[in-house]
Structure 1
Amino acid sequence: MQDGSRIHRMIQKRMGLEYEAEVPLRYIVPYENYQIQIEGRADGVIHRENGQVIVDEIKGTYQELKHIREPKKVHLMQALCYAFIVAEKEDLREIGVRMTYCNMDTEEIKYFHETYTRVEVRNWFWNLMDQYKKWADFTYEWHQKRQESIHALAFPFDYRTGQKELVGHVYQTICHKKKLFIQAPTGVGKTISTIFPAVKAVGEEKADRIFYLTAKTITRTVAKETFSILAENGLCYKTVLLTAKEKICPMEACSCNPVDCPYAKGHFSRINDAIYALLQERDCFDRDTVLEYAERFMVCPFEMSLDMSLFSDAVICDYNYLFDPYVHLKRFFAEGTKGPYLFLVDEAHNLVERGREMYSAQLVKEDFLTLKKTVKEYKTGLDKYIDRCNKELLALKKEQCDMVVESAGSFTMQLSRLHSAIGTYLEDHEDSPVREEILQFYFEAGRFLDVSEQLDDHYRIYTRLREDGSFLIREYCIDPSLRLQECMDEGVASILFSATFLPIQYYKQLLGGTKEDFEVYASSAFHKEQMQLLLASDVTSRYTRRCELEYYHIASYISDIVAQRNGNYMIFFPSHQFLEQVYNCYMDRFYIEETQECITQQEYMNEAAREQFLKRFAIAEPHPDTDDRSRAASWESLVHMEIEQEDKSLLGFCVLGGIFSEGIDLKGESLIGAIIVGTGLPQVCFERELLKDYFNAEGKNGFDFAYRYPGMNKVQQAAGRVIRSETDRGIVALLDDRFLQTGYQKLFPREWQSYRCVTGATCAEAVDNFWKYTKDDK
Structure 2
Amino acid sequence: PNVRKGQYELMKDVENALESKKSLIANAPSGIGKTAATLCPSLEYALLNKKTIFFLTPKHSQHKIVIDTLRRIKEKFNIDFIAVDIIGKKWLCPVSGIELLSTQDFNEYCATMRKNERCIFYNNTRENGDLSENAIKIAERILSEKPLHAEEIKSFCKGFCPYEIAIEIAKESCVIVCDYYHIFSLVREKLLSRINKYIEDSIIIVDEAHNLPERIRNILSFRLSNITLKNAEKEARRFGFDELAEKVSFINEAFENLRRKRNVNEFFIEKEEFIREIENIEEYHKIIEELETAAEHVREERKRSFLGSTARFLYYWQGEDEGYARIFRRESDEDKEKLSINYICLDPTILSKDIQDAHSVILISGTLNPTEMYRDILGFSKETLCKSYVSSFPPENRLNLFIPDITTEYKNRNEENFRRISNYLLRICSSIQGNIAIFFPSYEFRDKIYFMIKDSMKDRIIFLEIQNSTKEEKMKMLNSFMTTKNAILLGIQGGSFSEGVDFFGGVLKCVVVVGLSLGKPDLETKSLINYYEKRFGKGREYGYIYPAIRRALQAAGRCIRSEKDRAIVIFMDKRFLWKNYRTALPIEMEFKVTKDPEIYIKKFFEFSES
What TM-score, normalized by structure 1, do the two folds share?
0.69
Q: 1:187 to 1:398 in 2, by over 3 A?
A: same
Aligned equivalent of 1:198: 42
Aligned to 2:326: 461
Contact 1:671–1:722 under 8 Å retained in 2: yes
Q: Quick check: 1:322–1:329 contact (8 Å CA) kept in 2?
A: no
Alignment correspondent of 1:517: 384
Q: Distance in 1 between matches of 2:94 and 2:351?
A: 35
Cα deviation, 1:739-758, whole Å, max 9, x if unaligned, reads 22112222210231x21111
Deviates more, 1:312-321 or 1:698-707: 698-707
Greater Cα offset, 738-747 or 358-367: 358-367
Match of 1:757 among 586, 593, 598: 593
Are 2:594 and 1:774 aligned?
Answer: no
Q: Distance in 2 between matches of 1:570 and 1:702?
A: 32
**What's the CA shift for 1:369?**
4.9
Give the drift of 1:560.
2.9
CA distance in 2, matches of 1:266, 1:599: 47
Residue 477 (str. 1) matches residue 345 (str. 2)? yes
How far the C-alpha of 1:262 sits from its partner, in A, is 4.1
Q: Of residues 731, 745, 752 in structure 1, which corresponds to 2:568?
A: 731
Aligned residue number for residue 236 of structure 1? 80
Taking a change above 3 Å as real, the CA distance of residues 333 and 682 of structure 1, as seen in their structure-2 partners, is: farther
Hey, what does 2:102 align to over in structure 1? none
Percent identical = 24
1: CA distance between counterparts of 2:317 and 2:176? 28
2:23 and 2:360 in contact (8 A); partners too: yes
Partner of residue 101, structure 2: none
The change in CA–CA distance for 1:489 and 1:696 in structure 2 (over 3 A counts) is: closer
Deviation per residue, 1:199-258 (Å, 9 max, x gap): 0111220x5211111222222222112112212212323222223344333332347548
Matches of 2:205 and 2:341, distance apart in 1: 35
Task: Provide, for residues 10-59 of structure 1, a one-character-per-residue CA deviation record: whole Å limited to 9, x for no partner.
Answer: xxxxxxxxxxxxxxxxxxxxxxxxxxxxxxxxxxxxxxxxxxxxxxxxxx
Aligned to 1:323: 184
In 2, the alpha carbon distance for the partners of 1:235 and 1:336 equals 22
Letter in 1 for 2:462: C
Pair 1:560 & 2:403 matched: no
Matched to 1:461, the amino acid is R
Deviation at 1:461, TM superposition (A): 1.9
2:138–2:157 Cα contact (<8 Å) kept: no
Residue 16 of structure 2, aligned match among 168, 172, 190: 172
Report the alpha carbon displacement of residue 474 of structure 1 after superposing the two structures with TM. 2.0
Partners in 1 of 2:470 and 2:493 — Cα distance? Answer: 18
Aligned to 1:607: 471
Amino acid at match of 1:606: T
CA-to-partner distance for each residue in 1:327-379, whole Å, 9 max, x for gaps?
77524489996341111101111111111111122223554454344334725
CA distance in 2, matches of 1:433, 1:527: 57
RMSD of equivalent CA atoms: 3.0
Matched position secondary structure for 1:466 = strand
CA–CA distance in structure 2, aligned partners of residues 612 and 371 of structure 1:
36
Residues 395 and 288 of structure 1, relative CA distance in 2, 3 Å threshold: closer
Contact 2:228/2:306 (<8 A) preserved: no
1:506 Cα deviation after fit: 1.4
> Which deviations, in whole Å up to 9, do the C-alpha atoms of 1:437-491 show, x marking residues without a partner?
89553355235424633x14211222222324233222211111232122x1353
Per-residue CA distance 1:421-451 (angstroms, 9 max, x = gap): 344557xxx7669875895533552354246
Matches within 5 A, 1:293-692: 293-295=156-158, 298-326=159-187, 330-332=191-193, 338-365=199-226, 367-376=228-237, 378-379=240-241, 382=244, 386=248, 389=251, 393=255, 395-399=257-261, 402-408=266-272, 410=276, 414-423=283-292, 436=302, 439-442=305-308, 444-446=310-312, 448-450=314-316, 452-453=318-319, 455-467=320-332, 468-486=336-354, 488-489=355-356, 491-589=358-456, 591=457, 593=459, 596-618=460-482, 648-692=485-529
Give the structure 2 partner of residue 281 of structure 1.
144
- 1:261 and 1:420 map into 2 onto residues whose CA distance is 24
Larger Rg: 1
User: Structure 1 CA distance, aligned partners of 2:197 and 2:166?
Assistant: 25
Query: Cα 1:356–1:432, aligned 2, differ >3 Å: closer, same or farther?
Result: closer
TM-score by length of structure 2 reads 0.86
Q: CA 1:177–1:275 in 2, change beyond 3 Å: closer, same or farther? A: farther
Q: Aligned to 2:380, what secondary structure does the other structure show?
A: coil
Any conservation in 2 of the 1:177–1:492 contact (CA below 8 Å)? Answer: yes
Contact 2:64/2:149 (8 A) holds in 1: no
Letter in 1 for 2:153: V
Q: Contact 1:214–1:345 (CA<8 Å) still a contact in 2?
A: yes
| Secondary structure at the counterpart of residue 690 of structure 1 | helix
Indicate if the aligned counterparts of 2:71 and 2:146 stay in contact, CA closer than 8 A.
no
For residues 437 and 606 of structure 1, what CA distance do their matches in structure 2 show?
20
In the alignment, does 2:94 pair up with 1:250?
Answer: yes
Report the residue type matching 1:716 in the other structure: L
Specify the alignment match of 1:225 in structure 2: 68
SS at match of 1:382: helix
1:267 aligns with 2:125: yes
Change (3 A) 1:411 1:490: farther
Greater helix content: 2
Taking a change above 3 Å as real, the CA distance of residues 529 and 244 of structure 1, as seen in their structure-2 partners, is: same
Aligned-partner Cα distance in 1 for 2:331–2:194: 37
Q: Give per-residue Cα distances to partners, 1:505-528, cap 9 Å, x unaligned.
A: 111111221212221112221232
Quick check: 1:184–1:497 contact (8 Å CA) kept in 2? yes
RCO higher in structure (CA 8 A, sep ≥6): 2
Q: Given the superposition, is the C-alpha separation of residues 755 and 433 from structure 1 closer, same or farther in structure 2, using an over 3 Å criterion?
A: closer
Paired AA for residue 492 in structure 2: V
Distance 2:323 2:312 in 1: 20
Residues 571 and 651, structure 1, Cα contact 8 Å, conserved in 2: yes
- Asked whether the equivalents of residues 170 and 197 of structure 1 are also in contact (C-alpha less than 8 Å), the reply is yes
Gaps of 5+ in 1: 1-156, 620-645
Amino acid at match of 1:415: Y
Q: Is the 8 A contact 2:227 2:338 kept in 1?
A: yes
Alignment-mate amino acid for residue 704 of structure 1: E
* C-alpha distance after superposition, 1:490-547 (max 9, x if no partner): 5321101110011211111112212122211122212321111000012222233334
SS at match of 2:588: helix
d(CA) in 2 for partners of 1:208 and 1:361? 35
Match of 2:55 in 1: 212
